[in-house]
Amino acid sequence: MALDNASDFSMSRKAMKAELLDAETELQLAYAWRDNRDEQALHRLITAYMRLAISMAAKFKRYGAPMNDLIQEAGLGLMKAADKFDPDRGVRFSTYAVWWIKASIQDYVMRNWSMVRTGSTSSQKSLFFNMRRVQARLEREAATEGQELDRHQLHQMIATEIGVPLRDVEMMEGRLSGSDFSLNAVQSADEDGREWIDALEDDREQAAEAVEHRHDTEQLREWLLMAMQSLNDRERFIVRERKLREPARTLESLGNELGLSKERVRQLEAAAFTKMRKNLEAQSREVQHFIA
């Protein structure tokens, strides 16, 4: 932590010593980078406004992210701004860069707030960074007027104030009020306390179900083999090539091999299935009679 603080201080001190650009110099550097891809011009432009990036990064320390990481993200936003800046629009680079720096830092904070993505839409992003502030102000104003807001009223007022759907407010409230929870944490302070992961239902197939499934599969396979035995050689060949082969043979290819028309092969296939169905039904009746 001490090293991190020293690094933060060093970066800030270095940024404070960077040159201050007047509007004309800034414009010349922007043109040199845009038109000629002059890397030295880009470096001067980025270095001069790194103090702005650091200043904006410091405003997001309360979200728990390391300052070094925030500064790096601010620097990335600054470089994106320099790459997309159009000096012909007559706007100062610092004014344009603020949006990109802020967007880059906010994206980083939201990505690292939780293992579960906190939000990606503009309304969710606005809620993440403004909801607590707006909520505190609304509660203060209500208290001053002697009012007490219930949860639904407060959420409705926040949605109206920020201009987002009510459902987004309710969803963000749940995400901001909780934190990531390890399934390996114990349920109690006792030495024999179970971990929370032990309380999760095992969705794998149980032993009894596996045995029953295997028995049913073997029984079905035996019935199908017996049904296949009720067919003649040509019918078995057609069924095998049409249903037991990947990819299945076409009626036309089988007709060419057997010297039959495609329609005749289809008729033989249908007749074979009829025979098999009758055989399976007969076996089913025998099983039911045996059980009864």
pLDDT digits (tens, 9 = 90+) for 161-220: 888 888 887 777 766 665 544 555 565 555 566 665 565 555 665 666 777 778 778 877
To which H or E segment does residue 94 belong? helix 93-113
Q: What is the pLDDT of residues 119-143, one digit of tens each?
A: 556 777 777 777 778 888 888 888 8
CATH of 2-113, one of 3.40.50.720, 3.40.190.10, 1.10.601.10, 3.40.50.620: 1.10.601.10
At 36-91, the pLDDT tens digits run 999 999 999 999 999 999 999 988 887 778 888 899 999 999 999 999 999 999 89
Distance, CA of 42 to CA of 228 (rounded, Å): 78
Task: Quote the CA–CA distance of 116 and 169 in Å, as a whole number.
Answer: 17
CATH class of 212-291: mainly alpha
Strand partners for 195: 186
* Cα gap 145→26, rounded to integer Å: 51
Q: Which amino acid is at 210?
A: A
User: Which of 215, 234, 236 lies closest to 225 in space, CA to CA?
Assistant: 236
- Rounded to 5°, the CA angle 180-181-186 comes to 165
pLDDT at 286: 62
Helix (H, G, I), strand (E, B) or coil at 149: coil
pTM: 0.47
* 229 pLDDT tier (thresholds 50, 70, 90): confident
pLDDT (tens digit per residue) in 258-277: 899 999 989 999 998 898 88
Burial of 1 from C-beta contacts in 10 A (0-12 / 13-18 / 19+): exposed
Tokens of 118: 């906190």
